[in-house]
């Protein structure tokens, strides 16, 4: 078993290492400045066109009814002894059944797994977590509290607090990054791994340095390195950026997808419009450049990678390359008409593919 500290990088001393580090951080902050200038121009354009609308914000005091829909499960809380943080999650299915733990991406929260909570509760204890800093989970104020080793340890501690020593782990987007790392660092805790629209972290870090197109698509990683300005840009025009992420032609759910309802969108707006609600999620990204690349890479459990080919943020070529890091059964399925928000976009297909993978693995074990 590798601890999070073992999985994450350690660089020896030396002149060349220092030079490379300086060049690396020069690249990071140069691109950060470029992204910030682009966003500033967008802000000035919005102010010029409609200054009143630019700074308009609706106060959302009451959550929409969909967040308390009993068919999705029960709202629960668990406090982790070591960190002292209280985590919020929604659980469906009987206690004692095998655990299916769901990790959301950005800018999402437990609700992004609503279709899976309903689907898999018949055979699993399905737990959709609000990650550290998101939704009703505690949000530490210091940026260093969102380093990857903290996020990995959170999942281990939550698993133990729920009374389990292993789970079937599913992650999407940033939650997929965490799921890969948990599988690498704590392989004995993950019986099966399913990741949605995020490649193996080593594939991502190698690919982004060689392909300028992916560097551009990942521009928000760099923009998020700035203090407070990214949070402010999300609030412009009553969280227009957040709405567009899920609904626009370029980044939103595909034409043939399961569109978000007005109430679904309002659920996201309610969660992220609360005071300070964006800082914790964005802090996840503010530590990433000091935590990658990895030292340990191999994934040893059966793995399913699902990918929406119309992903506006991740190039599909990374999906196939991920295969080389999985030292067990690996299945990749690419859905041609699906977006980045795959489990919300094509829930029926995604659920069917997950069921097929789980049943295949059960049969394979018996044989």
pLDDT tens for the 367 residues of the chain, in order? 666 766 766 444 556 656 666 676 677 778 878 888 888 898 899 898 888 788 888 999 999 999 999 999 999 999 999 899 999 999 999 999 999 999 999 999 999 999 999 999 999 999 999 999 999 999 999 999 999 999 999 999 999 999 999 999 999 999 999 999 999 999 999 999 999 999 999 999 889 888 889 988 988 888 898 899 999 999 999 999 999 999 998 999 877 778 899 999 999 999 999 999 999 999 999 988 776 666 668 999 999 999 999 999 999 999 999 999 999 999 999 999 899 999 999 999 999 999 999 998 666 665 5
Q: Looking at domain 15-359, does it have CATH number 3.40.50.1820? A: yes
- What is the pTM assigned to this prediction? 0.92
Per-domain residue ranges of the chain? 15-359
Map the chain to HEC letters: CCCHHHHCCCCCCCHHHHHHHHHHHHHHHHHHHHHHHHHHHHHHHHHHHCHHHHCCCCCCCCCCHHHHCHHHCEEEEEECCCCCCEEEEEEECCCCCCEEEEECCCCCCHHHHHHHHHHHCCCCEEEEECCCCCCCCCCCCCHHHHCHHHHHHHHHHHHHHCCCCCEEEEEECHHHHHHHHHHHHCHHHEEEEEEECCCCHHHHHHHHHHCHHHHHHCHHHHHCCCCCHHHHHHHHHHHHHHHHHHHCCCCCCCCCCCCCCHHHHHHHHHHHCCCCCCHHHHHHHCCHHHCCCCCCCCECCCEEEEEECCCCCCCCHHHHHHHHHECCCEEEEEECCCCCCHHHHCHHHHHHHHHHHHHHHHHHHHC
- Catalytic site residues? 173, 285, 340
């Amino acid at each position: 078993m590798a601890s999070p500290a073992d999985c994450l990088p350690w660089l020896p001393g030396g002149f060349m290492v220092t030079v490379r580090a300086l060049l690396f951080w020069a690249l990071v902050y140069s691109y950060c400045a470029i992204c910030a200038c682009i966003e500033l121009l967008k802000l000035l354009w919005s102010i010029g066109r409609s200054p009143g609308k630019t700074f308009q914000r609706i106060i959302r005091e009451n959550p929409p009814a969909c967040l308390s829909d009993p068919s999705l499960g029960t709202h629960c809380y668990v406090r982790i002894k070591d960190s002292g943080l209280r985590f919020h999650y929604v659980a469906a299915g009987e206690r004692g059944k095998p655990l299916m733990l769901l990790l959301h991406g950005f800018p999402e929260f437990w609700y992004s797994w609503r279709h899976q909570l309903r689907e898999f509760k018949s055979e699993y204890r399905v737990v959709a977590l609000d990650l550290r800093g998101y939704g009703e989970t505690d949000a530490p104020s210091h940026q260093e509290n969102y380093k990857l080793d903290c996020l990995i340890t959170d999942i281990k501690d939550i698993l133990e607090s729920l009374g389990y020593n292993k789970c079937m782990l599913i992650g999407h987007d940033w939650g997929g990054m965490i799921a890969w790392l948990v599988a690498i660092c704590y392989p004995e805790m993950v019986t099966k791994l399913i990741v949605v629209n995020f490649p193996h972290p080593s594939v991502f870090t190698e690919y982004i340095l060689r392909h300028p197109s992916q560097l551009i698509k990942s521009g928000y990683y760099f923009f998020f390195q700035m203090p407070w300005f990214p949070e402010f840009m999300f609030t412009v025009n009553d969280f227009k950026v957040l709405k567009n992420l899920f609904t626009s032609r370029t980044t939103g759910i595909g034409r043939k997808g399961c569109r978000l309802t007005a109430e679904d969108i309002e659920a996201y707006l309610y969660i992220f419009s609360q005071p300070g609600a964006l800082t914790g999620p964005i802090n996840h990204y503010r530590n990433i450049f000091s935590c990658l690349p990895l030292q340990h890479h191999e994934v040893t459990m059966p793995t399913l990678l699902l990918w929406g080919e119309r992903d506006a943020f991740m190039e599909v070529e990374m999906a196939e390359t991920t295969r080389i890091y999985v030292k067990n059964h690996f299945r990749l399925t690419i859905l041609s008409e699906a977006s980045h928000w795959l489990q919300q976009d094509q829930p029926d297909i995604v659920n069917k593919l997950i069921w097929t993978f789980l049943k295949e693995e059960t049969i394979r074990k018996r044989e």
